[in-house]
Structure 1
Amino acid sequence: MNLPPDELQAIRVAARWYARLHSGIATDADRTDWRTWLAADPLHSQAWQRMAAVAEQMASVPGALAAPTLSDTHQRSRRQVLRSALLLTSAGGLGWLGWRSQATQNLFCDYRTAVGERRAFQLADGSTVLLNTDTSINVRFDGQQRRLELLRGEVLVTTAVDPLRRPFKVVTGPAEVLALGTRFIVRSQAWGGEVAVLEKAVEVSLLASGSRMRVEAGQRLDFNEQSLGALRGNDVSVGAWQKGSIIAIDRPLAALLEELSRYRPGVLRWDPAIGDLKVSGVFPVDNTDLALAALESGFSLRVTRYSRFWVQVSAGHRR
């Protein structure tokens, strides 16, 4: 990323101030000088906000993984902290790129959930949204429309009657979903997305081509940039996450593990040789270790935990 020289310099100075203030040896005079620098130029304030955003993102990294970043500053020298801060904020540094990444940009969305979290919000018009794990949305209401932008993850929307009769739309990736007085789920995927309707109906439109399709209660639809998929019926697995479960019915193990990985931090890997094994059952998303233990005992698998954040699933010994 190429930044203007004055902006890059402000970021570097902000990194030095961050290192100083978090070194454990900052004085009252240092804090006074920092406030003076901060107020001297709007670029300084912007650079400091960016530095703080990177620090917040790094603070959410699990302890062992965060060791080389900005955590544990009281146990490290000012020079070590400064080196990390400069790495995070340099034009080519991984931390600065991370701030520009989608994950870090989500820090500035209107509503979001962490990995493993589900949370409900009521919007200004009385509609409610239930965000699944690792989900972020923006809400844009004006006099003409009610618009929800699904940046990542999955959301259950229950629309309220609007006295102004403004349409309620959810936009994610290549598609727009128009609510027709309804409850529905939208999930963003790398390849496009999915819509499942629980009550009433929605209309799904591709933004590029204008192709559209009505989806009724009890139906679901996949979409990508090029096309809308075929309508399919909902089954008991649709929306089971609302009550903290994944319901699998003859589901390939690889697909189930990929779904479980959404609810746990770190890395969950599996041997491709067992990926096609068909699995049925109800698995808790609030305790993925328990879900893995159930798979291990019920399907003759071996779960190897290299650490809390690195788990491998492979074939076990047949009884």
Structure 2
Amino acid sequence: MSLPAEEVKAIGVAARWYARLHSGTATDADRVAWDSWLAADPLNRQAWQRMAAVAEQMASVPGALAAPTLSKAGNSSRRQVLRSALLLTSAGTLGWLGWRSQAAQNLMCDYRTRVGERREFRLADGSSLLLNTDTSVNLRFDGRQRVLELLWGEILVSTAPDPLLRPFKVVTRHAQVLALGTRFIVRSQPGGGEVAVLEKAVEVSVPGSGSAMRVEAGQRVAFNDRSLGMQRGNDVSVGAWQQGSIIAIDRPLAALLNDLSRYRPGVLRWDPAIGELKVSGVFPIDDTDLALAALESGFALRVTRYSRFWVQVARADSR
């Protein structure tokens, strides 16, 4: 599967910008020039998101091909990571290392949402599918089964009775979820995911591991490619994104900011020293600037906006 030439070019430029901005020597003029490039074309913004995804996933590439993330690497390592990223783009796909990239999958998927977008679809069997921000799904319905392949992101599924009695499954790269006449949420991330059941029940399994579990309404379970976690009860935060909010209850600030970053384009970074600060509140995901302003005023934080697409969070008294 090949990317169009203009997208390959844009991703290459994005990689060079990423390396420059994470070099430790970037100037205000560099950020202004980057901001102008980012705003010049929607393709540039998409390429920037893809480059950020590559950087986040670099650390998980096994063996001698592994590289540190750009933000922690020295100058020589940054150059190596940049060369790796450009090799990925020149190949026309980011899957040559043995893992399929989010970028390539997004181009060919059946259903998708952009960063910050939520969208509902009615499926041919009468089931409904709600996609959260930055989500990609493939659909495989045939005479024997109904399968949703969640490539990336988060979905809420409400299944409909099927006259053909076909099983309904959600498949991620780490686990499978068999619906048992139900309404449930599945989230898939590079390292694993989570299933939360709102009605009836599901069966969650990790292929090849022997791990399988029935999860009833009101419960949720995390998973990775090796095993299932312990079941926990749902709380008010589960599925709050349907109503346009993130609900935090004594949640580490780093986890909250990581969630907020899923709903805004560009880069949202924070000082690791504030990552464990416990935060409670309701934060809008359709206006993440308002959410950041609420954090700034309510938790003694300072939000520095280098541009619309580059935001840093730190303690208010830090310099």
Q: TM over 0.5: same fold?
A: yes
TM-score when normalising by structure 1: 0.73
Task: Tell me the distance in 2 between the aligned counterparts of 1:53 and 1:125.
Answer: 35
Deviation at 1:50, TM superposition (A): 3.3
Task: Tell me the distance in 2 between the aligned counterparts of 1:69 and 1:162.
Answer: 41
Task: Tell me the distance in 1 between the aligned counterparts of 2:40 and 2:87.
Answer: 17
1:313 is matched with which residue? 313
Kept after mapping to 2: 8 A contact 1:128/1:159: yes
1:301 is matched with which residue? 301
Q: Which amino acid counterpart does residue 135 of structure 1 have in structure 2?
A: T
Kept after mapping to 1: 8 A contact 2:168/2:179: yes
Deviation at 1:224, TM superposition (A): 1.0
Where do 1:172-183 residues align within 5 Å? 172-183=172-183
1:256 is matched with which residue? 256
CA pair 203-68 structure 1, distance change in 2 beyond 3 A: closer
Q: Which amino acid counterpart does residue 254 of structure 1 have in structure 2?
A: A
Task: Tell me the distance in 1 between the aligned counterparts of 2:255 and 2:149.
Answer: 26
Kept after mapping to 2: 8 A contact 1:53/1:99: no
Task: Tell me the distance in 2 between the aligned counterparts of 1:269 and 1:64.
Answer: 20
Deviation at 1:119, TM superposition (A): 0.2
Task: Tell me the distance in 2 between the aligned counterparts of 1:96 and 1:126.
Answer: 42
2:229 is matched with which residue? 229
SS at match of 1:297: helix
Where do 1:162-311 residues align within 5 Å? 162-311=162-311
1:112 is matched with which residue? 112
Deviation at 1:196, TM superposition (A): 0.1
CA pair 62-130 structure 1, distance change in 2 beyond 3 A: farther
Deviation at 1:109, TM superposition (A): 0.3
Deviation at 1:70, TM superposition (A): 7.7
SS at match of 2:208: coil
CA RMSD of the aligned region, Å? 2.8
Where do 1:18-29 residues align within 5 Å? none
CA pair 198-62 structure 1, distance change in 2 beyond 3 A: farther
Deviation at 1:69, TM superposition (A): 11
After superposition, the C-alpha distances for 1:166-201 in whole angstroms (9 at most, x for unaligned) are: 000000012110000000000002211100000000
Task: Tell me the distance in 2 between the aligned counterparts of 1:68 and 1:135.
Answer: 22
1:103 is matched with which residue? 103
SS at match of 2:104: helix
Q: Which amino acid counterpart does residue 180 of structure 1 have in structure 2?
A: L
Q: Larger relative contact order (C-alpha < 8 A, sep ≥ 6)?
A: 2
Q: Which one has a bigger Cα radius of gyration?
A: 1
1:65 aligns with 2:38: yes
Deviates more, 1:303-312 or 1:98-107: 98-107
CA pair 57-166 structure 1, distance change in 2 beyond 3 A: farther
Task: Tell me the distance in 2 between the aligned counterparts of 1:212 and 1:137.
Answer: 23
After superposition, the C-alpha distances for 1:216-248 in whole angstroms (9 at most, x for unaligned) are: 000000011111110100000000000000000
Task: Tell me the distance in 2 between the aligned counterparts of 1:111 and 1:56.
Answer: 23
Task: Tell me the distance in 2 between the aligned counterparts of 1:92 and 1:247.
Answer: 39
> What runs of 5+ residues in structure 1 fail to find an aligned partner?
1-45, 72-90
Kept after mapping to 2: 8 A contact 1:139/1:148: yes
2:133 is matched with which residue? 133
1:50 aligns with 2:4: yes
After superposition, the C-alpha distances for 1:54-84 in whole angstroms (9 at most, x for unaligned) are: 57989x997523769987xxxxxxxxxxxxx
1:158 is matched with which residue? 158
Task: Tell me the distance in 2 between the aligned counterparts of 1:70 and 1:154.
Answer: 23
CA pair 199-169 structure 1, distance change in 2 beyond 3 A: same
Task: Tell me the distance in 2 between the aligned counterparts of 1:99 and 1:227.
Answer: 29
> What runs of 5+ residues in structure 2 fail to find an aligned partner?
15-33, 45-84, 95-100
CA pair 67-93 structure 1, distance change in 2 beyond 3 A: farther
Task: Tell me the distance in 2 between the aligned counterparts of 1:122 and 1:113.
Answer: 15
Task: Tell me the distance in 2 between the aligned counterparts of 1:70 and 1:219.
Answer: 40
Deviation at 1:122, TM superposition (A): 0.7
1:145 aligns with 2:130: no
TM-score when normalising by structure 2: 0.73
Kept after mapping to 2: 8 A contact 1:154/1:187: yes
Q: How many residues align?
A: 253
CA pair 112-69 structure 1, distance change in 2 beyond 3 A: closer
Task: Tell me the distance in 1 between the aligned counterparts of 2:133 and 2:42.
Answer: 25
Task: Tell me the distance in 2 between the aligned counterparts of 1:68 and 1:262.
Answer: 21
